[in-house]
């Protein structure tokens, strides 16, 4: 799609957010056109923190919208909420592999992919920290030893029985409204969102707040009888007007800047649009999701107490050496 994007750049593609193109590029070539973005991140309950005695000013300082804090701060507040009996769950994460798990790994400084060399990375120290933190959270009663299903994750958060969820993205409130009774008033007053904050150690090493998204793309197949017509159709489907309609009904931020001008009446989108700039794409690598599956399987074992963090890392490294022989192992 490189020639098409170049030809129509000034007409249509000039204001797509730059980081979206990284998710559409493999081996230096653009293979599709982005048409959606929904940054993953941390949702938390401000009303729970108020009941703990924190003011709105203190809450915004501890858990700022830009994520410029640390995971340890979030964990401390979650434990306070659990210990005070205000919530059933302190923190919940996904019950399956997905972009949120990759986002968590980045929060620990576990870079899993080198786009320049197109290889997967095994960072032993960062992965060990990742598993050790989750074990500590289970031992502290902040994270359950087995993640509940999606309906429980969503319903308990909306009802205020979970302090923070790491399982959702910035557009999830549209689902919470449709299925779980979330109101605009509660969304505005009581819920907070931020990119995943790094751990203290990762932050000292230069890690910053981050969100991820596995950008869906519009493709034109090699079998298309009218590829140029298909590409023009994609242009109409990604126009500022089409982008704005998509954002309005999904509560996801627009993937192009000009669409914001058509959404001035949607306060939530205006407020969260900047989150797009923290997004990193999910790696485009044939073994990436196999890798994430193994990482998540090991996480379930660690949280359930079946395997130690150290053994989980050793087992994962053996799999990596066998299944990703061209990967890079960081000592």
Distance CA 179, CA 128 (A): 37
Together in a domain, 237 and 313: no
Mean pLDDT of 143-151: 96
Q: Taking 80 as the threshold, does the pLDDT of residue 331 lie above it?
A: no
Q: Taking 80 as the threshold, does the pLDDT of residue 131 lie above it?
A: yes
- The tally of domains found in the chain comes to 2
Together in a domain, 103 and 145: yes
Distance CA 231, CA 271 (A): 32
- Provide the pLDDT for residue 122: 97
Together in a domain, 219 and 207: no
Count how many residues are written for the chain.
331
Together in a domain, 292 and 193: yes
- Provide the pLDDT for residue 213: 86
Q: Point out which residues pair with 281 in neighbouring strands.
A: 213
Which tops the pLDDT comparison, 284 or 219?
219
Q: Taking 90 as the threshold, does the pLDDT of residue 154 lie above it?
A: yes
- Provide the pLDDT for residue 22: 85
Together in a domain, 80 and 95: yes
Together in a domain, 172 and 245: no
Residue 156 near residue 92, CB atoms below 8 Å:
yes
Together in a domain, 147 and 252: no
Together in a domain, 156 and 66: yes
Q: Point out which residues pair with 42 in neighbouring strands.
A: 194
Q: Taking 90 as the threshold, does the pLDDT of residue 214 lie above it?
A: no
- Provide the pLDDT for residue 71: 97
Q: Which of 265, 281, 297 is the last residue of a domain?
A: 281
Instruction: List the CATH number of the domain containing 203.
Output: 3.40.190.10
Residue 141 banded pLDDT, cuts 50, 70, 90? very high
Residue 76 banded pLDDT, cuts 50, 70, 90? very high
H and E: helices and strands count for the chain: 16, 13
Q: Which tokens belong to 184? A: 């605009």
Together in a domain, 316 and 182: yes
Question: Percentage of the chain with pLDDT > 70?
Answer: 100
Mean pLDDT of 270-277: 85
Within 10 angstroms of residue 10's Cβ, the number of other Cβ atoms is: 8
Mean pLDDT of 74-96: 97
Q: Which of 281, 299, 321 is the last residue of a domain?
A: 281
Checking phi first, is residue 196 left (phi over 0); if not, alpha (psi -120 to 50) or beta? Answer: beta
Domain encompassing residue 191: 42-211+285-330
Together in a domain, 201 and 272: no
Distance CA 66, CA 60 (A): 10
Distance CA 55, CA 288 (A): 42
Mean pLDDT of 276-305: 93
Range with the poorest average pLDDT among 24-33, 39-48, 86-95, 236-245? 24-33
- Provide the pLDDT for residue 114: 92
How far is C-alpha 307 from the geometric centre of its chain's CA atoms? 26
Distance CA 307, CA 315 (A): 10
φ and ψ of 141, to 5 deg = 80, 15
Distance CA 257, CA 273 (A): 9
Together in a domain, 139 and 197: yes
pTM of the model: 0.90
Distance CA 67, CA 76 (A): 15
């Amino acid at each position: 799609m490189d020639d098409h994007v170049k030809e129509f750049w000034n007409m249509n593609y000039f204001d797509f957010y730059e980081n979206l193109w990284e998710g559409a590029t493999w081996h230096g070539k653009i293979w599709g056109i982005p048409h959606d973005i929904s940054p993953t991140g941390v949702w938390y309950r401000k009303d729970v923190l108020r009941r703990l005695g924190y003011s709105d000013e203190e809450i915004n300082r501890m858990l700022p919208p830009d994520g410029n804090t640390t995971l340890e701060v979030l964990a401390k507040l979650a434990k306070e909420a659990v210990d005070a009996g205000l919530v059933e769950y302190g923190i919940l994460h996904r019950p399956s592999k997905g972009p949120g798990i990759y986002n968590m790994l980045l929060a620990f400084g576990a870079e899993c992919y080198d786009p320049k060399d197109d290889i997967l990375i095994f960072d032993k120290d960062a992965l060990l920290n990742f598993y050790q933190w989750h074990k500590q959270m289970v031992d502290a009663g902040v994270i359950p030893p087995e993640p509940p299903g999606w309906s429980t994750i969503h319903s308990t958060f909306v009802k205020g029985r979970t302090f923070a969820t790491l399982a959702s993205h910035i557009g999830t409130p549209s689902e919470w409204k449709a299925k779980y009774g979330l109101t605009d008033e509660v969304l505005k007053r009581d819920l907070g969102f931020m990119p995943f904050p790094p751990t203290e150690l990762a932050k000292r090493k230069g890690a910053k707040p981050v969100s991820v998204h596995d950008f869906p793309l519009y493709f034109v197949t090699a079998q298309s009888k009218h590829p140029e017509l298909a590409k023009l159709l994609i242009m109409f489907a990604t126009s500022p007007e089409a982008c704005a309609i998509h954002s309005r009904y999904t509560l996801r931020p627009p993937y192009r800047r000009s669409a914001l001008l058509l959404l001035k009446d949607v306060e939530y989108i205006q407020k969260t649009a900047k989150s797009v700039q923290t997004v990193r794409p999910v790696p485009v690598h044939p073994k990436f999701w196999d890798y994430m599956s193994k990482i998540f399987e090991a996480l379930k074992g660690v949280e359930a107490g079946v395997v130690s963090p150290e053994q989980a890392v050793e087992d994962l490294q053996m799999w990596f050496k066998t299944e990703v022989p061209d990967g890079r192992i960081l000592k």
